[in-house]
Amino acid sequence: MPANKLISMSRRALTLLLAGFLVLALGVVGAFRPVPYVVLSPGPTENTLGEVDKKPVISINGRETYPTSGSLDLVTVAYQGGPAAPIDLLTALRGWIDPTVAVVPQETIFAPNRDPKEVEEENTVEMTNSQDSATAAALTELKIPYTTVVRVLSTEKGKPADGKLLKDDEISAVDGKPAADVDVVSEAVKAHKPGESVLFTVTRGTEKVDVSVPTVADSKGHPMVGVVMQARYKFPFDVKINVGDVGGPSAGLMFSLGIIDKLTPGEMTGGKQIAGTGTIQPSGEVGAIGGIAQKMVGARDSGATVFLTPADNCAEAMESVPDGLRLVRANTLHDAVTALDALRTGKGNVPACQAG
């Protein structure tokens, strides 16, 4: 073979080799580049009837309590990624392959231009609110009376309420009518036209004062004063909930059930390991949550055989329910209590999730 052909083939082989190496190098580099996704995976479970860091998850003082058995597990979702610690493409690809995890766009967890620390603080506030709502729902179910207080959390800078309503003011009335809850206050403000004033009666420290606040139009032309409120409750005895680093509102249903189990004779679980999820309203309404697939896997991995499921999550849950986990539909706290009673005694109806 002529020498010039050999040289030509050698150059071609070298070019292909270099091109292949370059593609491989770019692929390796690309695999470790950050991507705007978050990986959601099954998180740990906590028994609301048990302990965290050697302290009861639920402790009740000032009211008689009763022994419990079994477990009422709250479930969590762990995540990797986010603005502060983005994942790489390889991690995302592994997540897409694993059926027990979900890979979602970063903005579904972390709103754009939001400080991750802000999001964590918001989750902590949501958890606190969830614990209060859970106690209120449990006492509502048990017909134990309590009172509701609407408290000022903060005001928006530059808005009419700024400097007039103060943090921790308790709003007892609006325009002379009792402020039963946050929605009542909001509706009272909306009943005005922009430019009109709203009369708030508040308890500030030990003093009760009337505060007149003018309204302005928001971006949609609706009246607003720029106040952030929170419903707080005054219970006839002390209920404390300790869950360590767990955040968010989705454990509300399980907190309520744990409180009811401790406040009533007999054992709600019948000794079984029961898990579940769902937000809770003081009225007892159970709300939908995110990450249902990962929460079911976490529940089953921890040994649960029954999973209390918000009604609005049932269709999604049916698509990926793990083997050996029985889904029980919960529209309300009362439904959940009744279903657990039927499971324990073998009498009565146990509402099941059905495919959508």
The domain that holds 256 is classified in CATH as 3.30.230.10
| In-domain check, residue 101 | no
Domain of residue 185: give its range.
147-234
- State both tokens at 133: 């709502």
CATH of the domain at 166: 2.30.42.10
Sequence-distant (6+) residues with CB within 8 A of 147 are: 233, 234
User: According to the model, what pLDDT value does residue 25 have?
Assistant: 45
For residue 29, pLDDT beyond 50: no
For residue 26, pLDDT beyond 50: no
User: According to the model, what pLDDT value does residue 222 have?
Assistant: 92
Q: Percent of the chain scored above 90 by pLDDT? A: 61
Q: How far apart are CA 54 and CA 56, in angstroms?
A: 7
232 or 34: which leads in pLDDT:
232
Residue type, 260: I
In tens, the pLDDT along 88-147 reads: 777 777 777 888 888 777 777 776 665 666 666 666 666 677 788 999 999 999 999 998
- 278 and 135 in one domain? yes
SS3 content of the chain, % helix, strand, coil (to 5): 35, 30, 35
- 249 and 136 in one domain? yes
| In-domain check, residue 248 | yes
In tens, the pLDDT along 152-203 reads: 989 999 999 999 999 999 999 999 999 988 889 999 999 999 999 999 999 9
User: According to the model, what pLDDT value does residue 145 have?
Assistant: 95
- 326 and 224 in one domain? no
- 202 and 246 in one domain? no
In tens, the pLDDT along 191-242 reads: 999 999 999 999 999 999 999 999 999 988 999 999 999 888 889 999 999 9
| In-domain check, residue 287 | yes
- 161 and 72 in one domain? no
- 340 and 256 in one domain? yes
Give residue 11's pLDDT band: very low, low, confident or very high (50, 70, 90): low
For residue 24, pLDDT beyond 50: no
- Under the phi-then-psi rule, with left for phi > 0, alpha for psi from -120 to 50, and beta for the rest, what region is 328? beta
For residue 5, pLDDT beyond 60: no
| In-domain check, residue 102 | no
- 170 and 220 in one domain? yes
User: According to the model, what pLDDT value does residue 316 have?
Assistant: 94
Which residues lie across from 307 on neighbouring strands?
Answer: 275, 327
For residue 294, pLDDT beyond 70: yes
DSSP string, 258-296: HHHHHHSSS-TTTT-EEEE--EE-TT-BEE--S-HHHHH
User: According to the model, what pLDDT value does residue 81 have?
Assistant: 77
| In-domain check, residue 208 | yes
Lowest mean pLDDT among 4-13, 29-38, 273-282, 312-321: 4-13
User: According to the model, what pLDDT value does residue 118 have?
Assistant: 63
| In-domain check, residue 92 | no
- 241 and 228 in one domain? no
| In-domain check, residue 93 | no
Residue type, 267: E
Average pLDDT of the chain is 86
Give residue 48's pLDDT band: very low, low, confident or very high (50, 70, 90): very high
Nearest by Cα to 217 from 209, 226, 230: 226
| In-domain check, residue 118 | no
**What's the residue count for the chain?**
356
- 311 and 185 in one domain? no
Sequence-distant (6+) residues with CB within 8 A of 134 are: 241, 251, 252, 253, 255, 256, 259, 280
- 252 and 130 in one domain? yes
Annotated catalytic sites, by residue? 250, 295
Give residue 23's pLDDT band: very low, low, confident or very high (50, 70, 90): very low
CB distance 21 to 29 below 8 Å? no
- 139 and 43 in one domain? yes
81 or 335: which leads in pLDDT:
335
Considering its fold, how many domains does the chain have in total? 3
- 323 and 226 in one domain? no
For residue 7, pLDDT beyond 50: no
